[in-house]
Amino acid sequence: MSSFVEKNDRFVHRSLEVLLGVLTWSFLTSPVWLGLLYPPAIVYLLTFLTVYWSYLALRHTIGLFKGYRLYEEEMAQDWYLECRKLDFSKLPDKETLPSNLSDIKHMIMIPVVNEPDQVLGDCINSIFNQTFSLKQIIIVFTVEEKYSTEVIERIKKIIGEKEKDFYKIMFFVHPAGIPGEAIGDGGANRAWGSSHAVEELRNLGENLRNYTFSNLDSDHVLNRQYIARFTYAYLTTDKRDNHFYSSAVPLFDNNLWRVPLMMRLEANGVTLGVLSDWAISKGKVRKTFSAFSTSLQTLIDAGYFDVALGADDTIFYWRAFFARNGEFDGVPYFIPYSADAVEGKNYLDSHKSLYKQLLRWGWGVVDFPLSVKGFMKNKDIKVSKKVGWVVRHLKERVLLVNTVFLITFGFGIVTLVNPFVKQSNFAYSLPDIMSTILTLTLVFLIPGTFFRRKFAVPPPKEWSKVRRFLTYFEGPLIMLNMLTYSFLPWVQAQTMMLFGKKFKNLYHTEKIR
C-alpha cells in the first residue's frame, strides 16, 4: 500500500478529494434519490438521524456540566503556586523534563498583520499580567511585510519599558510573495517567525529542550493563570512531546455584545462546543485549534507550519501526528482565553466576514486526503487509530454538517419527489415521531443558555432591561445558525475540493475596534 501511494501520489490524493465530496453530496441528496429508488431506506435514515441528534444534544449537555465544574475548580486554584510545589524528582519522562522550574522557558508566538493598537495592546497586556515569571517568557512577533515598519513601531510603543521584564522579545518580518505560500493564511507567517526564532535561539546557544511553544492570535487575551496552568499540565504529563496542550474554554467576549446576533450565536456555539467536547473526550479526538501549546521540540520535529494548504491549525496537528507516528493527543485545561467574535465595518460586512471566515475554516477539509494518505504510508501507526480517525472524518464532514438540514427538510423533500410516500404505512407516522423527539430535545437548550451566560461577560449596562432580558432567548436561534453558517460554508468548501478548485487568496479576518 505504501509503495502504491508513493508511486501514485497525485492520483490517490485527487481520488480522496473526490471521495469525500461525493459522499457529502450523496448523503445530502439522499432524500431525492432514495425517495425515488427505495423510500423505506430514507425513512429509516431520517429516523436514525433524529435519534442520533437527540443523543448528541444529551452528550453535549453532559459535557457542559462536566466542563463547567472543571472550569470552576481550576479557576479557584493558584497554578503558579502549584508549579512551585512540584517535586521534579517525581515528575514523568525525565528525558524531556527541565531540571527545575526556573529552567523552563516559554516561547509565545503572535502573528500580526495590521491590527489596531487596542487589539494588540489587550493581547500584550494580558501577557504582562501573567502570574508566571515573565523572565521565563519569550514573545515572538512575526509581522507581515506590508505594514511591518509601522506595526513594529506600534508594538514597541505598547511594550515600552516592560521589555526588560521578559527574557527576550523578538521581531521577524515575513516577506510577501514567497512562491508556493498560500496568500492570506497565517501558516506561512507562523512558519517564518517560529523557524527564525528557533534559529536565533540556536545561535545564542540556548538549550531548546527546555523550551515550550505557544501559538496565539493577535486578538487573544489570556487569563492571568493561562501560562502557569499550561506549565503545570506540561510538566506533569507523561511523554510530553507527544501531546499538545489547549484551553477547553475559548471565549469570544472581547466584543461579544457589539456584534450582530449571528456572530454571537457562532461565537457562543464554538465556546460551548469546544468546552463540552474536551470535557467528554479528554483530548483523544480533538485537533489543534486557535491557541495551543507544545514542546518546542515537537514544533521542530513537525517541520513547523504548513505554508501552502491554507489550514494552518488543522494541518499542524497532522504534521505533529505523523512525526510522532500517531501518538499525538491533546491535554485540556480549563483556564480560559478571550478572542474577538467576527466583526465587520457594518452590519452587512459582519455577516460577509463571518461567512468568509467559516469558509476558510471549512477549507480545513484538505486534511482528509492528507491524513488518509499518511495512514496508508505509515505502518507504525496503530490500525485502531487510523480507523478511528477515518470514522471521525466522515462523522464530522459528512454526517454532522448535513444532519440538521436533513432532519429539518428531509421528509418534505422525499414527499415532494415521491408523493406516494405519504400513503405508505412505514412513513405515515414519521413526521409525528420526528417532531416529538425534536421537541423533547429542546429541553437541552436550557443548560446551553445557562452556561452561555455564565461564561460571557454581562451585556452592556446601557442596554435597556427589555433588551438584556431578550438575550436569554438567543439560545434557541442556534438552529438558524446550524442551517446557515454552520452548514453552507462547509458544504461549499467540500464542493470546491470535489471539483479541484483552490483558494487563490484566503480571507484574513480583520479585527475591528
* Mode of pairing for the β-strands spanning 292-295 and 211-215: antiparallel
Q: Nine-digit cell at 277? A: 467536547
- pLDDT at residue 279, rounded to an integer: 94
Dihedral over Cα of 493, 246, 351, 511: its sign? negative
DSSP state letters, 175-207: -TT-TTPPTT-HHHHHHHHHHHHHHHHHHTT--
* N-term to C-term CA, the chain: 53
- pLDDT at residue 238, rounded to an integer: 97
Distance CA 245, CA 234 (A): 7
Distance CA 292, CA 229 (A): 12
Torsion angle in degrees (nearest 10) through CA of 495, 21, 490, 349: 0
173 Cβ partners below 8 Å, 6+ apart?
142, 143, 144, 145, 148, 152
**Residues shown for the chain:** 513
Taking a C-beta distance cutoff of 8 angstroms, is the pair 490, 288 a contact? no
55 Cβ partners below 8 Å, 6+ apart?
none
Distance CA 43, CA 449 (A): 32
DSSP state letters, 91-139: SS-GGG--SSGGG-EEEEEEEESS--HHHHHHHHHHHHT-SS-GGGEEE
Helices 401-417 and 488-498, packing angle to 10 deg: 80
- pLDDT at residue 475, rounded to an integer: 77
Amino acid present at 321: F
Sheet containing 337-338: give its strands across. Answer: 221-222, 337-338, 250-251
Q: State how far Cα 488 lies from the chain centre.
A: 18
- pLDDT at residue 70, rounded to an integer: 96
How do the pLDDT tens digits run along the chain, 513 residues long? 677 778 888 999 999 999 999 999 999 999 999 989 998 898 889 989 988 999 999 999 999 999 999 999 999 999 999 999 999 999 999 999 999 999 999 999 999 999 999 999 999 999 999 999 999 999 999 999 999 999 999 999 999 999 999 999 999 999 998 998 887 778 899 999 999 999 999 999 999 999 999 999 999 999 999 999 999 999 999 999 999 999 999 999 999 999 999 999 999 999 999 999 999 987 666 788 889 999 999 999 999 999 988 777 889 999 999 999 999 999 999 999 999 999 999 999 999 999 999 998 999 999 999 999 999 999 999 999 999 999 999 999 999 999 999 988 998 898 898 887 766 665 656 666 666 766 667 777 788 888 888 888 899 999 999 999 888 888 778 888 989 999 999 999 999 999 998 876 666 777 777
Would you say the pTM of this structure is higher than 0.75?
yes
* Mode of pairing for the β-strands spanning 168-174 and 221-222: unpaired
- pLDDT at residue 285, rounded to an integer: 60
Between the alpha carbon of residue 244 and those of residues 143, 289, 298, 330, 378, the distances in Å are 25, 10, 9, 5, 21
Centre a 10 Å sphere on the Cβ of residue 207 and count the other Cβ atoms it contains. 11
- pLDDT at residue 432, rounded to an integer: 66
3-state SS assignment for residue 218? coil
Output Rg (C-alpha) for the chain, integer angstroms: 24
3-state SS assignment for residue 370? helix
**What is the CA angle 43-442-339, rounded to 5?**
110
Q: Is 481 exposed, middle or buried (0-12, 13-18, 19+ CB in 10 A)?
A: buried
Centre a 10 Å sphere on the Cβ of residue 160 and count the other Cβ atoms it contains. 8
Distance CA 413, CA 434 (A): 15
Taking a C-beta distance cutoff of 8 angstroms, is the pair 79, 222 a contact? no
Centre a 10 Å sphere on the Cβ of residue 64 and count the other Cβ atoms it contains. 23
Distance CA 188, CA 346 (A): 30
Boundaries of every domain in the chain: 2-64+379-498
Nearest to 201 by CA among 174, 227, 168, 234: 168
Q: Nine-digit cell at 172? A: 521577524
